[in-house]
Amino acid sequence: MTESQPNVLFLLSDEHSYRCFSSCDDDRGEPVETPTFDRIAETGTNFDQTYCQMPLCTPSRLCLLTGREVRRCNGWDNDNVLPPDCSTIPETFGEAGYDTCLVGKMHLGGNRQFVGFDDRPYGDLTGGTNHQWEPLDRRGGRKIRDRTRDAGVSEIPESQLQEYVSTRESLAWVREQEAASDDPWFLTVSFSRPHFPLTAPRRYFDRYWDVDRDEPTDLLTEPKVGYEGDTVDHPMTVGARDGFRTAEVGEREAQRARAGYFACVEFLDDIVGEFLAALDRDGHLDNTIIVYASDHGELAGEHGLWWKHTWHEAAARVPFFVQTPEHRTGERESATIETPVSLADLFPTLCGVTDVEPPDGLDGADLSTAVETGAEPDRGPVVCDNLVPRWGAGTEFRMARDGEYKYVQFRDAPELLFDLSTDPLEQHNLATDASGADRDALDSLREFVDESIDFQAAETERERDSLLQQEYALEAETASPSGSCYLLRDGSVVDADTPLYDPTVVVDNPAATFDDYP
């Protein structure tokens, strides 16, 4: 470790669509205002064609933490435990002399809740999902239909929202760390939004939905693509539409939900902006690399679908920005990288830009040269998997992206091929009648997938890995519906949101209690 070794601030969100940045052009983008994220992307290195390893929360996070594909880190579904023999980013940085900390949601399974981090002062420490459902509606669990139906203005005090608490706890950790140690630090701040529940403070929601009139504003847009194209009757599309019950989401409900999603994006951007400004004011960013990414995207009504867990661009493609101190001072030029890359590349890339020795066995590529020079990397095909038959027998898939072509092979369903340069909305399946360059791409990508994945072997591995959930079962009480907890200095883990979900009510009728109640 060198004296000038940079700190690393990794900002991770949940379900942030690659479309939802104000820097996107009109054809691609949605009408959100994201000046904070735009500034990171436009002054740093923007990997504009980045894909997650699996478009689902826990698997994607296990893959990015380990730099491995789904099959090599037990990243099958949301209940999985990270195997102890998988090296992680915080573990590797800790061994290199960094102080490491995770604040916020990470959606880890079982009793392996630290995975190499030294500190976890606040977050989903009891294996919850860290989503703050509205407290005044105290139904037990939430159902699929509630995700869009409940969109609107948050009733939770803004200071108690997970995003705000995460940034305040993160700021406190940095201040304490720099006061006590000269070691560099690696801090991951992980946010729940813009993942549902699709609620936000009123000033954000009001931009897209007039609360007083109860109607959409002129800013609200329709999805870029509807339930149309060559894949509407594909077995996986039908299975996802039925499984998520998205055909039941009516037009008005969909509009309100999109308004809630856009509001969540803007709220997150503001919160992150305030956090970075506080760090910068005190000099904590002078020698700090800032990274922003999201674990997967959000369909938000595109293709008649919502959420994630599909091969579509809006589900599988994610933001990935790297801004170094040299970018901020102007010593290094900004760049937009068009070569398709993967979130598995995050681990080796962070090692590359910090001169930390990476462990053996990573599946990702080191993109540090692209960060430092703006040169397009020689990456090769990137993959995004779903290796569980959630949407019906035979719907497991491996998606491969190389150049402008995107190929999807299923275990037992028709294959797909798209030329994203001419068909960015994925309407025309070229695999049914490919010729010329399309045929060459189809043959090449089909061969790559045939050689790189065996769906039967993956099923056997998944069944074997399921034993880890039993071996590393978490023996702790489930926290309140949000799953948010504090880890206190005495080692006790306490629920963070008791006042929201199980409050001690001191006044239940303010008009009768306060003589001057307005």
Which range among 40-54, 246-260, 308-322, 464-478 shows the weakest confidence by mean pLDDT? 464-478
User: Token pair 């998997």 is at which residue?
Assistant: 385
Separation of alpha carbons 428 and 445, rounded Å: 17
Q: Taking the alpha carbons of 342, 347, 348, 352 in that order, is the dihedral positive or negative?
A: positive
Beta strand pairing call for 99-104 and 185-194: parallel
Q: Which of 150-164, 252-266, 276-290, 472-486 has the lowest mean pLDDT?
A: 472-486
Q: Note the pLDDT of residue 479.
A: 74
Other C-beta atoms closer than 10 Å to the C-beta of 476 total 13
3-state SS assignment for residue 37: helix
Tokens of 21: 């940045």
Three-state SS for 333-383 is CCEEECCCEEHHHHHHHHHHHHCCCCCCCCCCCCCHHHHHHCCCCCCCCEE
Residue of higher predicted confidence among 483 and 418:
418
Q: What is the mean pLDDT of residues 454-472?
A: 94
pLDDT band, residue 481 (cuts 50/70/90) = confident
Check whether 128 has a pLDDT greater than 80: no
Q: Which SS3 state, helix, strand or coil, does residue 39 take?
A: helix
pTM above 0.95, yes or no: yes
Of 449, 456, 412, which is closest to residue 236 (Cα–Cα)? Answer: 412
State pLDDT tens for residues 131-170: 888 865 555 556 889 999 999 999 999 999 999 999 999 9
Q: Which of 200, 164, 220, 209 is nearest to 32 (CA)?
A: 220
Give residue-wise pLDDT tens across range 402-458. Answer: 999 999 999 999 999 999 999 999 999 999 999 999 999 999 999 999 999 999 999
pLDDT band, very low/low/confident/very high, at 3 (cuts 50, 70, 90) = low
Span 502-513, average pLDDT: 93
CA angle 137, 166, 41 (to 5 degrees): 115
Q: Does residue 1 carry a pLDDT above 70? A: no
In angstroms, what is the C-alpha Rg of the chain?
Answer: 22
Give the tens place of pLDDT for each residue, 221-262: 999 999 999 999 999 999 999 999 999 999 999 999 999 999
Our measurement of the distance from residue 74's CA atom to the centroid of its chain's CA atoms, rounded to an integer in Å, reads 18
pLDDT in the model for residue 303: 97
Mean pLDDT across 68-89: 95
Which phi-psi region, left, alpha or beta, contains residue 130 (left: φ > 0; alpha: ψ -120 to 50)? Answer: left
CB-based burial label for 396 (10 Å; 0-12, 13-18, 19+): buried
190: three-class secondary structure by DSSP: strand
The two structure tokens encoding residue 397: 């898939």
Mean pLDDT of 342-347: 98
What is the three-class DSSP state of 287?
A: coil
pLDDT tens sequence across 174-233: 999 999 999 999 999 999 999 999 999 999 999 999 999 999 999 999 999 999 999 999
pLDDT of residue 509: 95
- 2 pLDDT exceeds 80? no
- C-alpha to C-alpha distance for 434 and 443, rounded to whole angstroms: 10
> DSSP letter at 302?
G
How far is residue 54 CA from its own chain's centroid? 11
CA dihedral 189, 349, 52, 471 (to 10 degrees): -70
- Tell me the C-alpha distance between 500 and 506, whole Å: 14
Cα 446 to chain centroid, rounded:
28
